[in-house]
């Protein structure tokens, strides 16, 4: 292992988090200040299906003395399952990226209305209006906003309980949705100069065959990275996906997936380092760092 590689895996990079531009509760500026306070050296804001916060995030990162990579987290449907693909280091003005994300956001309004109708049937009235109070970006109403409303009404003690009881498959507020294709999402990212990363792979309920198909097709479309260390993984899962990264020849990413001081277990930058011997995604993105 080269000395250079050993050094670069210990960078405090946080390449996954959310602002009020999607389903986080802090502004890009508040996130940048919090990241800096926690020792982050390289940061990316990765709002769901949206890059409207990128300019503010880059400016805030620079004002704090941090390096910055553009970011987003694209919702994809693969094998009838929602998978998240993080894009890093792309050109945030690229028209195909902007159009693709806009189309991906497009179905959220109707989906939210339907979620509200289903919740009304189990006695929860006014969920759409209730969720809207928490929405920072009218194009990005998400299940997280419904979860905050259900906590507010006292129906559940926290957002995890809301997801368990109402907003996941088989539960009364769950509405299946078709997102972008894996191929489109990876191409929007790579053709705008970025690097595509499979987000929090341990979160998906795939069979071994389906997971193998996901990684194989992702690579075939030009995907080059996987999140190994994330707020969504246990230590054992990080070890497991470090092996997967080696097996598929993928670079490794690291990110908290921070959404809110009140909801997130993992704070910005407060994660184990990447295991040594892996290629960090930031090594492949050196010329995209701002
Ligand atoms: P959506 O894009 O509208 O389907 O919402 C997905 C978001 O819901 C994720 O990005 C998470 O922020 C949040 N989420 C999903 N599952 C859970 C869970 N079990 N507990 C808390 N938040 C969750
Ligand atoms: Mn989210
Ligand atoms: Mn995600
Ligand atoms: Mn996320």
Mutate to test the pocket of ligand 1, among 144, 205, 264 (most ligand atoms within 8 A of CB): 144
Mutate to test the pocket of ligand 1, among 82, 143, 255 (most ligand atoms within 8 A of CB): 143
Split at pLDDT 50, 70, 90, the class of 119 is very high
Does the Cβ of 144 fall within 6 Å of ligand 1?
A: yes
**Ligand nearest to the CA of residue 22, numbered in listed order:** 2
User: What's the 193 CA to ligand 1 centre distance in angstroms?
Assistant: 28
Task: Tell me how crowded residue 96 is: count the other CB atoms within 10 A of its CB.
Answer: 13
CA 141 from centre of chain: 15
CA 281 from centre of chain: 15
CB 39 within 8 A of CB 66: no
Average pLDDT of the chain is: 96
Does the Cβ of 75 fall within 6 Å of ligand 1?
A: yes
The Cα–Cα gap between 186 and 191 comes to 8
Tens-digit pLDDT profile for residues 163-209 = 999 999 999 999 999 999 999 999 999 999 999 999 999 999 999 99
- pTM for this predicted structure: 0.97
β-sheet with 67-68: strand ranges across: 13-14, 42-43, 67-68
Two tokens at 275?
Answer: 């295991």
Does the Cβ of 163 fall within 6 Å of ligand 1?
A: yes
Tens-digit pLDDT profile for residues 86-113 = 999 999 999 999 999 999 999 999 999 9
């Amino acid at each position: 292992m080269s000395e250079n590689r050993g050094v670069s895996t210990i960078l405090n990079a946080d390449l996954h988090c959310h602002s009020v531009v999607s389903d986080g509760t802090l502004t890009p500026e508040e996130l940048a200040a919090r990241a800096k306070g926690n020792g982050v050296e390289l940061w990316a804001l990765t709002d769901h299906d949206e890059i409207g916060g990128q300019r503010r995030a880059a400016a805030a990162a620079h004002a704090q003395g941090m390096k910055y990579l553009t970011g987003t987290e694209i919702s994809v449907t693969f094998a009838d399952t929602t998978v998240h693909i993080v894009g890093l280091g792309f050109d945030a003005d690229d028209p195909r990226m902007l159009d693709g994300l806009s189309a991906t956001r497009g179905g959220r309004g109707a989906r939210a209305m339907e979620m509200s109708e289903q919740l009304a049937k189990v006695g929860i009235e006014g969920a759409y209006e209730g969720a809207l109070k928490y929405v920072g970006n009218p194009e990005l109403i998400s299940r997280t906003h419904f979860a905050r409303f259900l906590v507010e009404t006292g129906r559940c003690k926290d957002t995890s309980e809301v997801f368990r009881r109402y907003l996941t498959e088989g539960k009364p507020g769950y509405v299946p949705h078709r997102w972008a294709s894996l191929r489109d999402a990876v191409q929007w990212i790579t053709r705008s100069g970025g690097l595509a990363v499979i987000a929090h792979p341990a979160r998906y309920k795939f069979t071994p065959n389906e997971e193998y198909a996901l990684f194989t097709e992702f690579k075939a479309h030009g995907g080059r990275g996987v999140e190994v260390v994330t707020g969504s993984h246990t230590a054992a899962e990080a070890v497991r996906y470090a092996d997967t990264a080696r097996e598929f020849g993928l670079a490794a990413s690291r990110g908290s997936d921070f959404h809110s001081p009140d909801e997130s277990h993992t704070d910005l930058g407060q994660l184990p380092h990447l295991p040594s011997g892996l290629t960090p995604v930031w090594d492949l993105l050196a010329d995209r760092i701002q």
